[in-house]
């Protein structure tokens, strides 16, 4: 599948699985899962297109799972703005995590910290390169911030790690943010 088509399909899949399942006449279960056959019909795509989009997504945004009865289901790894329970268990984070954003957002972040906005969590990366790639989604100059995750954990903040390796937390107060190297 050509890259631009895969990007468009990935965005439609994210919309259906993370933000607006009703727009596609889909109903996510409590954990955010939907039957693969229902998903294919709703998005009017083939299984080959789905498999290509899941396998080719550099951020591994989607998970396909085979159930004991042979049925398959799909969900987004994280980033939902609709209510779902991902079943994540709190984990000890690495000492530092990173957040990529635009330079235009920096003043607001320095004033109030990182907040989840309409999503369930703030998304953090385990390395600077990934954070930089995430930050490129925003217009303008990319800025990478270092999060003192060890200090946050000592202060009682909880961290979760999604299936695709993204670290999640409810918010990052300003005192735990620093400019990345």
* pLDDT tens, N- to C-terminus, the chain (181 residues): 788 888 899 999 999 998 999 999 999 999 899 999 999 999 999 999 999 999 887 677 898 999 999 999 999 887 777 878 888 899 999 999 999 998 888 899 999 999 987 777 898 999 999 899 888 776 678 999 999 999 999 999 999 998 888 899 999 999 999 986 6
Contact 172, 122 (CB under 8 A): yes
Taking each helix axis from N to C end, the angle separating 47-56 and 3-14, rounded to the nearest 10 degrees, works out to 90
Report yes or no on 29 lying in a domain: yes
Counting the structural domains of the chain, the total is 2
Same domain, 46 and 108: no
Among residues 42, 76, 110, the one where a domain terminates is 76
Report yes or no on 139 lying in a domain: yes
Element (H, E) at 96: strand 96-102
Same domain, 55 and 104: no
Task: Kindly compute the dihedral angle of the four CA atoms of residues 78, 84, 89, 92, in this order, to the nearest 10 degrees.
Answer: 40
Same domain, 108 and 44: no
Among residues 46, 76, 106, the one where a domain terminates is 76
Describe the strand order of the beta sheet including 72-76 as a list of residue ranges: 34-35, 72-76, 62-66
Provide the whole-model pTM.
0.71
Here the CATH number for the domain that contains residue 120 is: 3.20.170.30
The confidence score (pLDDT) of residue 80 equals: 74
Among residues 44, 76, 108, the one where a domain terminates is 76
Same domain, 107 and 173: yes
Same domain, 34 and 100: no
The confidence score (pLDDT) of residue 139 equals: 64
The confidence score (pLDDT) of residue 118 equals: 73
Same domain, 37 and 71: yes
Q: How far is CA 178 from CA 19, 125, 146, 149, in A?
A: 31, 14, 5, 11
3-state secondary structure of 55: helix
Same domain, 106 and 62: no
Same domain, 61 and 105: no
Report yes or no on 91 lying in a domain: no
- How far is residue 27's CA from residue 38's CA, in Å, rounded to a whole number? 10
Q: Which domain holds residue 12?
A: 3-76
3-state secondary structure of 64: strand
Report yes or no on 81 lying in a domain: no
Here the CATH number for the domain that contains residue 40 is: 1.10.10.970
Contact 128, 180 (CB under 8 A): yes
């Amino acid at each position: 599948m050509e890259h631009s088509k895969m990007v468009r399909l990935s965005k439609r899949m994210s919309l259906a699985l993370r933000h607006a399942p009703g727009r596609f006449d889909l109903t996510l279960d409590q954990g955010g899962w939907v039957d693969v056959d229902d998903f294919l019909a709703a998005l009017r795509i083939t299984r080959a297109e789905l498999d290509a989009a899941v396998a080719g997504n550099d951020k591994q945004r989607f998970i396909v799972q085979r159930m004991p009865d042979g049925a398959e289901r799909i969900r987004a790894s994280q980033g939902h703005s609709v209510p779902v329970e991902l079943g994540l268990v709190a984990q000890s984070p690495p000492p530092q995590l990173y957040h990529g954003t635009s330079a235009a957002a920096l003043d607001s972040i320095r004033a109030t910290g990182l907040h989840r906005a309409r999503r369930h969590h703030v998304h953090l990366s385990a390395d600077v390169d990934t954070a930089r790639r995430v930050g490129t989604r925003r217009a303008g100059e990319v800025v990478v911030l270092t999060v003192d995750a060890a200090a946050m954990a000592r202060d009682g903040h909880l961290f979760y790690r999604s299936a695709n390796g993204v670290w999640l937390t409810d918010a990052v107060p300003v005192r735990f943010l620093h400019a990345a190297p």
